Structure formats: C-alpha cells, structure tokens
Amino acid sequence: MGKTSAETLKEELGLGSTFEDAVDSWIIGSKAMNVKISLQRKQRENEVTFDHLYCPMWEHFKRKGSILCEDVCFPAAEAMAKQICNTVEVVVLRKPDRNHTCIKALKRTG
C-alpha cells in the first residue's frame, strides 16, 4: 500500500526523491486520510515530527478494542516514505495506546 501510494504521488503530483518530498508525502497522505497533524521541524537534526492530533483509524481501532496501528498504519507509512526517499528513517516517538495517538518522525539519514 505504501509503495503504491508513493509511486502515485510521484507520478500525479510530481514528487521527487528528496527528504522534503518524503515529508510532503506524509502531509498529503495525512490530509487524504483525514488525519489532523501538528508538524515540528528540527532543522539542526534534519527531523520532522508528526504529532497525530486526530486519527480516524486510531479512533476505529480504539472502538474495536485493539490498537492495530503498528500492524496497519506504520508499515504503510514507512514504505511510502522510503519509496520516496531512501535516505529517510521513520522513528516512532510515542506508540499509540488507548489514550493517545502516535507521534512519528522522519529523519534524514544521508
């Protein structure tokens, strides 16, 4: 799912293969999935943090009693970012639980 999304974003929106393109892919993906995010850029560390203020998938998982973000969302998000830019690392800063959505970051590694 993530690799296909990345290819579509490259073809349809002209994303390239830079770190900033990977960041843009997550912003676009979040908007497409109705996820409300707060971004924090740490220029010195080449890192962009994505705090999920609202996530409909997390809400659904919470209602069903199992938080499946690590099985469903994380692999797709990581695959999309790495398909766009192979020098990006995805870091989970806060795992989701029944009380909180996740906080993830993209870090430039190269």
Residue 1: the pLDDT is 67
Q: Give CA–CA dist 108/65, Å, rounded.
A: 35
Q: How would residue 4 be classed by pLDDT, with cut points 50, 70 and 90?
A: confident
Q: What are phi and psi of 43, to 5 degrees?
A: -60, -45
pLDDT tens digits along 40-51: 988 777 999 999
| Arithmetic mean of pLDDT, 86-92 | 95
CA distance 96 to 2: 20
